[in-house]
Amino acid sequence: MSYKRSKYFLTPEKRKINYLLANKNSKITVVFFHGFMSDMLGKKPLALQRICRKLKVNFLKFEYSGHGSSSGKFINGNISKWTSDAKNLIRSKTKNSKKFIFIGSSMGSWIALNLLSTFKKKLKGFIGIASAPEFLEELMWKKFNKEIKKTILTKKIYYLKNGNYNYPLTKQLIFDGRKNRVLKNKINLKIPIILLHGGEDEVVPFKFSKKIFKMFKKSKRKLIKINNGDHSLSRKADLKILATELKILVEKI
């Protein structure tokens, strides 16, 4: 799969962010935030791009610094930097948009949640897919043994093997995550919140979506547990559910 029609955006910090904006001259823009060590070429962003084309709304997807074809090394990145990348790109490339729908996948939901207050006047809906805010502390640091923690603190990096992947976890990444806690926030936005989570997700527990659900007391909330769904939620059936929920959101705006 190629990055057909993708471009680069230069952030104020001189980071080159690879992005694709499918402009349908709509006042509505759907923004997709990908996950940890992922990119914008997965099944979900590609499916969302097709859905938005059918719905005739704008679609923006991108890759944080150190991810995909964006500049920088992954080990130099963190939640604060990736949030900044997203914020500056959205502000620059969607000036004509009047209404936003944010869709976050795994870590992408954390980045999106960080930006809700920034774009609250235009935000009309949020969809979280296997959302993983604060995963660095809750799913990694707290579960690491003393030896792993010592390696991170002294060598400032630890390579976590999980299946076919090798995740480089740095001390600065872990510590920065603590500056970006969101789960205890109370968000007063009166917007639709849809949370999708796989019943067989072995990466991020279902309780994470439950915690996000509780953050939005004044919102119209929907928590969907997809039976047999894994963490990626990229099966045809999963993507069909995502498409249906997005279509409902767009039609209500």
CB 150 within 8 A of CB 121: no
Q: Which two tokens stand for residue 234?
A: 């990229």
- What residues contact residue 178 under an 8 Å CB cut-off, 6+ apart? 137
Q: Which of 204, 152, 153 is nearest to 183 (CA)?
A: 204
Do both 16 and 90 map to the same domain? yes
**3 domain residue, yes or no:** no
- Entry pTM: 0.96
Do both 123 and 21 map to the same domain? yes
Do both 215 and 98 map to the same domain? yes
Do both 75 and 200 map to the same domain? yes
Residue finishing a domain among 179, 197, 212:
179
Strands 165-170 and 157-162, bridge-based pairing: antiparallel
Residue 152 has pLDDT above 70, yes or no: yes
Give tens-digit pLDDT for 83-98: 999 999 999 999 999 9
CB 65 within 8 A of CB 111: no
For 109-175, strand residue ranges (E) read: 123-129, 157-162, 165-170
- 82: phi > 0 → left, psi -120 to 50 → alpha, else beta; which? alpha
Q: What is the pLDDT of residue 174?
A: 98
Residue finishing a domain among 119, 146, 179:
179
In the chain, how long is the greatest CA-to-CA distance? Answer: 54
Do both 44 and 100 map to the same domain? yes
CB 77 within 8 A of CB 66: yes
**2 domain residue, yes or no:** no
Q: Which domain holds residue 148?
A: 135-179
**32 domain residue, yes or no:** yes
3-state SS, residue 233: coil
Confidence of residue 4 (pLDDT cuts 50, 70, 90): low
CATH number at residue 34: 3.40.50.1820
**92 domain residue, yes or no:** yes
Residue finishing a domain among 118, 151, 179:
179
Confidence of residue 50 (pLDDT cuts 50, 70, 90): very high
Total number of domains in the chain: 2
The enclosing H or E element of 5 equals: none
Give tens-digit pLDDT for 68-127: 999 999 999 999 999 999 999 999 999 999 999 999 999 999 999 999 999 999 999 999
**244 domain residue, yes or no:** yes
Q: What is the pLDDT of residue 62?
A: 98
Confidence of residue 134 (pLDDT cuts 50, 70, 90): very high
Q: What is the pLDDT of residue 245?
A: 98
**51 domain residue, yes or no:** yes
**248 domain residue, yes or no:** yes
Confidence of residue 161 (pLDDT cuts 50, 70, 90): confident
Q: Which of 180, 184, 82, 97 is nearest to 135 (CA)?
A: 180
**23 domain residue, yes or no:** yes
Give tens-digit pLDDT for 172-192: 999 999 999 999 999 999 999
